[in-house]
A and B are shown apart, each in its own frame.
Chain A
Amino acid sequence: MPLRLAGEIPIEVTVNGVKKKANVEPRLLLVHYIRENLGLTGTHVGCDTSNCSACAVLMDGKVVKACTVLAVQANDREVLTVEGLSREGRLHPVQKAFLAKHGLQCGFCTPGMLMSAYALLKGKRHPTEEEIRKGISGNICRCTGYAQIVESVKQASRSKQW
């Protein structure tokens, strides 16, 4: 059931390459717009207090916390969610690397981790380990201890399938 609230204003957001129109209340957060209005539940709400980045998405190419952006602020912008990484049913190299290197355990942080890793590698295809650790430093994982996640990002940076 999409959230429908009073005092709505029209927005148009390109989500995973598709233009979406909606009327939203200004206080609606981008993460709720993505999950509840669009039904894209790959983007997770973790802490809901701007700490964990499980809700990370790309907005105009920059990775941001969708729980700390208003949906109206995404008007006329491009949003990429984890659902937009795969192409024609094939996992993105970053996703494949997380699978191959066990870059997750419970998987709750994974969508956000994938988006931060993707943004990092898009900006720099072959980061050092230090740059990888800095790049994912905003994303909290409570299972892995990060070692396999760093290995996953390294593996993704070596992939020739981008």
Chain B
Amino acid sequence: MLPSSFEYASPRSLSEAIDLIANRGEGVRVIAGGQSLIPLLKLRLASPSLLVDINRIPGLNHVAESGDFLRIGALTRIAEVEASAIIRERYPAIHDASEVIGDPLVRNLGTVGGNVSHGDPNNDMPAVMLALGAEFVATGPAGERTIKAGDFFLDTFTVALKHDEILTELRVPRRRPRTGGCYLKLEQKVADFATAGAAVQVRLDKGDECEEVGVGLTAVGPTAIKARKAEGWMRGKTPGEGAAVREFARLSAEESDPSTDLRGTSDYKKEVVSVLVSRAFTRACERARGAT
């Protein structure tokens, strides 16, 4: 399959890329790993007049803790996230997601920034970033601005980036003691979209009370969903109360809005959300207690 014709530019600096996009106006698409965009181009669901390839721009590929954040360059490949020791040891929910995105070949090219900015509710990183309370750095002609993950996902394939902005960095709050996370996904086969997915992040105090709780859901609504009511409800409660965990999972499922398709009915998917949230929460708490 051939995409329809487009012009192609491969700028060597961020400012060059932003100039190209700003000068062109509409009809521009940024390509990074291309693992979602190229299939859309081939099916002609996307027909940009200009493709701006950011793969050769230096400075967009890094994973490092500095200041208050874990900083992940937008061009960091999913496979690089998967191999990162700091992410595996300190941000396990991100590591969990990196192992189940696409397949190994997709992960070699697909990027963290693309996974988020594509705005596909089926992508896995958005739910994780919502649970972790991440923020995203958008760079445009006027410079940088940050957007909270909770304000980023507007609708299916629609995110809060302006047409002349490029997502350049993801910032995750630096891990504090007794914090743990987990991402779980039910999929029918490797590289299929999730039936449902759930990310949970918790911070426990010394008495095992939940000081902070974050929940993000995949593939059960028009965007990835931050289950705010469930988060608020669980705060201050202890994981030991089985009834509390069940109610927390039920509230999370209530905030999901899945559609019936070949992967299951809406009711079935809500049930899956409830189970995944419950399991991810339990695992996140274990990790929080094990971590110092």
Contacts and interface: CB of A to CB of B under 8 A. Distances in A.
A68 B39 contact: yes
A110 B38 CA distance: 24
Given A73-B53, A73-B55, A68 B109 contact: yes
Given A50-B106, A68-B39, A6 B5 contact: yes
B35 A68 contact: yes
A27 interface: yes
B10 A64 contact: no
B79 A26 contact: no
Given A73-B34, A73-B55, A138-B191, A64 B108 contact: yes
Given A63-B104, A73-B34, A7 B5 contact: yes
A69 B109 contact: yes
A27 B2 contact: yes
Contacts of A137: 103-104, 190-191
B123 to A, nearest CB: 14
A72 to B, nearest CB: 6
A50 B35 contact: yes
A29 interface: yes
Nearest to A24: B8
Interface string A21-43: 00001111100100000000000
A87 interface: no
Contacts, number: 80
Interface residues of A, number: 32
A65 B106 CA distance: 8
B108 A27 contact: no
Interface in B172-206: 190-191
Interface in B89-141: 102-106, 108-109
A49 B43 CA distance: 9
Contacts of B8: 9, 26, 70, 72
A135 B34 contact: no
A25 B106 contact: no
Contacts of B103: 53, 137-138
Contact of A26 (B39, B51, B190): B51
B221 interface: no
* Chain A to chain B: the 9 pairs with minimum beta-carbon distance, closest first: A138-B103, A26-B8, A62-B108, A27-B3, A138-B105, A137-B190, A68-B38, A50-B39, A138-B104
Interface of B: 1-8, 10, 34-35, 38-39, 41-42, 51, 53, 55, 79, 102-106, 108-109, 190-191
Interface of A: 5-7, 9, 25-29, 32, 48-51, 53, 56, 62-65, 67-70, 72-73, 75, 116, 134-135, 137-138
